[in-house]
């Protein structure tokens, strides 16, 4: 996560346009305060909106999203909805909604699984409800695991499911 406050070019231009130094100082302090809040657990919680997934899973989601890079967090805030009713996890794309990525999580999901499912959404992976194409499943799972690792997560969400690996190996052995 980017832990350093930096002004954008647009913010610098706005501040440079102010005449008084005290106005410039106040504006920088206000922007820093806003940045600090957005990078706090409270800021992440507020930006995620209402999470109707239970207190335990809600905490896991907030902690996971808090650890994401700021641009990925913005993607999550604007494009993802979280639901709890699956054992493991999953994601689906629904084009006709304001937040088209439905992140489906089991109650036992950890932060790495949350990050893994967000990675699928961020990478634009479509859900394969029947799971028939193991090569595609292996590729998308590997990509999501790699991205979750790149974001600094460790755990189940950063490891390709052994069943998928075994299915691909069986298919390759049968060729």
Task: Identify whether residues 82 and 28 lie together within a single domain.
Answer: no
Task: Identify whether residues 25 and 95 lie together within a single domain.
Answer: no
pLDDT tens per residue, range 135-154: 778 889 999 999 999 999 99
How much is the pLDDT for 44? Answer: 85
Structural domain count of the chain = 2
DSSP characters over the chain:
---S----HHHHHHHHT-S-HHHHHHHHHHHHHHHHHHTSHHHHHHHH----S-HHHHHHHHHHHHHS-HHHHHHHHHHEEEEE--SSEEEEE-TTSSS-EEEEE-TT--HHHHHHHHHHHHHTPPP-SS---HHHHHHHHHHHHHHHHHTT--SGGGS--HHHHHHHHHHHHT-
pLDDT tens per residue, range 64-79: 999 999 999 999 998 8
Output the pTM of the full model.
0.76
How much is the pLDDT for 1? Answer: 45
Task: Identify whether residues 93 and 16 lie together within a single domain.
Answer: no
């Amino acid at each position: 996560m980017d832990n350093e406050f930096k002004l954008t070019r647009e913010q610098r231009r706005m501040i440079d346009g102010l005449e008084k130094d005290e106005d410039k100082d106040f504006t920088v302090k206000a922007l820093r305060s806003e940045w600090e809040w957005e990078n706090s657990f409270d800021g992440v919680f507020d930006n995620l909106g209402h999470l109707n997934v239970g207190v335990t899973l809600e905490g896991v989601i907030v902690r996971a999203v808090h650890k994401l890079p700021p641009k990925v967090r913005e993607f999550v805030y604007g494009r993802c909805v979280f639901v709890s009713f699956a054992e493991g996890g999953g994601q689906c794309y629904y084009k006709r909604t304001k937040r088209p990525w439905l992140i489906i999580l089991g109650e036992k999901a950890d932060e790495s699984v949350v990050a893994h499912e967000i990675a699928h959404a961020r990478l634009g992976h479509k859900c394969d409800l029947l799971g028939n194409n193991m090569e595609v499943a292996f590729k998308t799972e590997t990509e999501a695991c790699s991205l979750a690792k790149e974001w600094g997560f460790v755990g189940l969400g950063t490891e390709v499911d052994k069943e998928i690996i075994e299915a691909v190996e069986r298919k390759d052995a049968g060729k």
